[in-house]
Amino acid sequence: MADPHPAAHTVRLVAGREFGCRVGSRRLVLTTVTVAVLLVAFVVLQAYVFGHQRTLRVGLAGQAISLQQALPQEMVALGVPVDVRQLDTIAEGVADVRTGRLDVLVSGARSALRVTIDNQLDPRLRATLNSLVRQQILDAQLAQLGARPNDVLAKVDQAQITVTQLNATDPNLGQRKTLGIVTALLVAWSLAVGAALAGRRVVADAAGGTAEVLLPVLRPRRLLTGNLTGIGLTVLVHAAALGVVGVAAALATGAATVPAAVAIALGAGLLGFVLGFALYGTASAAVAALRPRYRGALLVLLGAVFLVSAVLIGVAPDATATSVLSVLPPFAPVLVPARLAVGVGAGWQVLLAVALSLLTVGALGWFAGRVYPRSLFRA
Amino acid sequence: MTDAVLEADRIGKRFDAGFALSDVSFTVRAGELFGLGGHRGSGRTTAIRIAAGVLTADSGRVRWRSAPIDPATRRRIGYQPATAGLYPELTVLDQLVHRAELHGFDTNEAHRRAQVWLDRLSMRALRARRTGTLDTDELRLVALLATLLPDPELLLLDEPFAGAGRTGVGTMIELLRDEAARGVPVLVSGNDLDQIERYCDQVAILRGGQIMASGTVAELVAGGPRLFRVDAPDAEPGWGDTVPGCRTVDADGSRLLVELAADADDQAVLHAALAFGPVREFTRVRHTLAELFDPAGLM
């Protein structure tokens, strides 16, 4: 017989049993698959609907056909894709606008373009067409004055304003914020699942005698540590699977164009879960041991933490209030990875958040270790 | 294992609601099946928990092999709480292996032992079944196997037969007798005194946290009233009460149930009945433990 029950061995046995029971449980797998489907659906929507630049369909008729090359060049420079096609008659173009096959019909002389739309003209197209008309008139005026329009325009083009940028704005900030909120959501969801499972285990252990029967061979603290480790690993596997699915979907659809930010979000999210589960899992076990009926309160707290975090990340990820909240233990596991995904938050803030959370975990662990044994004889 | 004796010496325990145990003493010897009877709330479970070392007594002490119970001792105790203590999501085999591993066996040995016990009880077919899907007989048997698997030196079982049918109880009693036969002291609690009377060598009956009676079944039964059934068809009505030290408890025609005082002579009763004519029945009525200690059937 192998001896003598070293702590690590018994904790590993309990954790292995808990992990083996739960990781493939139908309910948990179904929940994870559902969340994965929702995540992929969100990423696809982000890529093809919310963040998609719709191509403007422009028809050219009559003399306006001369804009065939100039118009797409100008619009692409503004970041607006256009699909330009020539029409035989103006009437054909008007009919296409009416039926929605075209967004815009451009006709008339280049110096007096006429635009037909259904109900709204894209402001960037309006500016571009106005610019082209003015250019045409300017060319004509310059020619009348005996100047060579191309020389004049070359000089005009060389004239540039000088810009001094006081605050550098990340052009991908919007995308990073979305990434931060999604990270916060996934971490909060994983923590909620983990905390619920931890509380349920404590209650089931008391009701089923599964803990009491082991007490002669296992100290309550080791049993609790083993159970929490097993549940934490179980949810970590599911959370990691969700993270990988989300990252793959984001990169495949082009919804995320900053792979480094995605990698940081994934890594920070997993670290946030580990830290957060130590915090919320232990707290849930303590609450379940003391007052089983109130263990749902932690899930409400997690929901509130996520909502506050999401708003702060969306509105002011780098504000002082956000920074302060991010180091406080209830918020740190959700807010720190979200801020890292956005690309804000100093290193010392992260370290302080981790340190405060670990201190809280230590205190909670001590408290849970005291109240847990009492709960085992409730049945 | 001749020195394998469990002694509970004046143990007491108080909870917020009041005393659960007060000055309770009992001794379970090697090879003995000891029944701890009592209704719910009598202190049975508290007594077993204290004996197993999972609960601390406020007063008194428990000694195993003449020494206090310490963590090393606890690992050699086979303890089963009133709830089966099985994980419903684990298969029977995984359950048994897990328990054996926690008692210090390596995985291979744990598997071997589990297979041996399942084969012994012809339960191999159950090994891949989740415990949550077992019926009560199977569940109780698996719980007992999980307790027996590590070869415990002392068995402390709280209501091990609860909810089980006659077949399951019979199988479990055979297992416990086998354990006792190899010198293991076996303490079993329960509220079914008829059941305890059938298989236990020694009995202690708890009420209100105190022992109200203890001894062998024969001793406990002998301590009850001396009742005789007498059928004397030609006797006059009320003849029983004329014999010194004899009192009629019940009458059914010519059949009387009479109770004799401790110093009364049963032969005098027989002679008094014969004086009226033939006596068709003269029998000592033996009470069961349940009739003696739980006449209202509260346990």
Task: Give contacts of A212 with chain B, Cβ < 8 Å.
Answer: 54, 81, 83, 85
Residue A353: its pLDDT value, please? 94
pLDDT digits (tens, 9 = 90+) for A117-127: 888 788 888 88
Query: Which of B54, B104, B106 is nearest residue A215 as measured by Cβ atoms?
Result: B54
Interface probe with A: pick from B48, B76, B83, most Cβ of A within 10 Å: B83
Q: How near does any CA of chain A get to the CA of B200, in Å?
A: 23
Structure tokens at A371: 């109240």
Please give the interface size between A and B, counted as residue pairs whose CB atoms are below 8 Å apart. Answer: 72
Q: How near does any CA of chain B get to the CA of A225, in Å?
A: 15
Query: Which of A207, A217, A377 is nearest residue B103 as measured by Cβ atoms?
Result: A217
- Dihedral (C-alpha) B37, B41, B46, B48: value to the nearest 10 degrees? 20
- Hey, are the CB atoms on A21 and B87 less than 8 Å from each other? yes
Q: How near does any CA of chain A get to the CA of B70, in Å?
A: 10
Q: pLDDT-based confidence at B299, cuts 50/70/90?
A: low
- Hey, are the CB atoms on B101 and A212 less than 8 Å from each other? no
Query: Which of B85, B105, B106 is nearest residue A213 as measured by Cβ atoms?
Result: B85
- pLDDT at B297 exceeding the cut of 90: no
Axis-axis angle for helices A332-342, A347-375 (nearest 10): 150
Among chain A, residues having any CB pair with chain B shorter than 8 Å are: 1-5, 10, 13-14, 17, 20-22, 25, 207-210, 212-218, 377, 379
- pLDDT at A3 exceeding the cut of 50: no
Residues A344-349, mean pLDDT to the nearest whole number? 88
Query: Which of A14, A25, A209 is nearest residue B85 as measured by Cβ atoms?
Result: A209
Residue B205 and residue B190: Cα distance in Å, rounded?
A: 10
pLDDT digits (tens, 9 = 90+) for A13-25: 999 999 998 998 8
pTM above 0.80, yes or no: no
- pLDDT at B10 exceeding the cut of 90: yes
Burial (CB count <10 Å: 0-12, 13-18, 19+), residue B33? buried
Q: Is A210 helix (H, G, I), strand (E, B) or coil?
A: coil
Helix ranges (DSSP H) in chain B: 44-52, 71-74, 92-102, 107-120, 136-148, 166-181, 193-199, 217-222, 266-274, 289-293
Query: Which of B81, B102, B109 is nearest residue A13 as measured by Cβ atoms?
Result: B102
- pLDDT at A2 exceeding the cut of 50: no
The complex scores an ipTM of 0.78
**Of B20, B21, B12, B26, nearest in space to B187 by CA:** B26
- pLDDT at B17 exceeding the cut of 80: no
pLDDT digits (tens, 9 = 90+) for A227-276: 999 999 999 999 999 989 988 888 888 777 777 888 888 899 999 999 99
Give the residue with greater pLDDT, A71 vs B148: B148
**Percentage of chain B modeled with pLDDT above 70:** 98
CA angle B107, A369, A276 (to 5 degrees): 85
- pLDDT at A1 exceeding the cut of 50: no
Q: pLDDT-based confidence at A378, cuts 50/70/90?
A: low
Task: Give contacts of B140 with chain A, Cβ < 8 Å.
Answer: none
- Hey, are the CB atoms on A208 and B87 less than 8 Å from each other? yes
Among chain B, residues having any CB pair with chain A shorter than 8 Å are: 49, 52-55, 74-75, 77, 79-90, 94, 98, 101-106, 109, 146-147
- pLDDT at B111 exceeding the cut of 90: yes
pLDDT digits (tens, 9 = 90+) for B195-219: 888 889 899 999 889 998 888 888 8
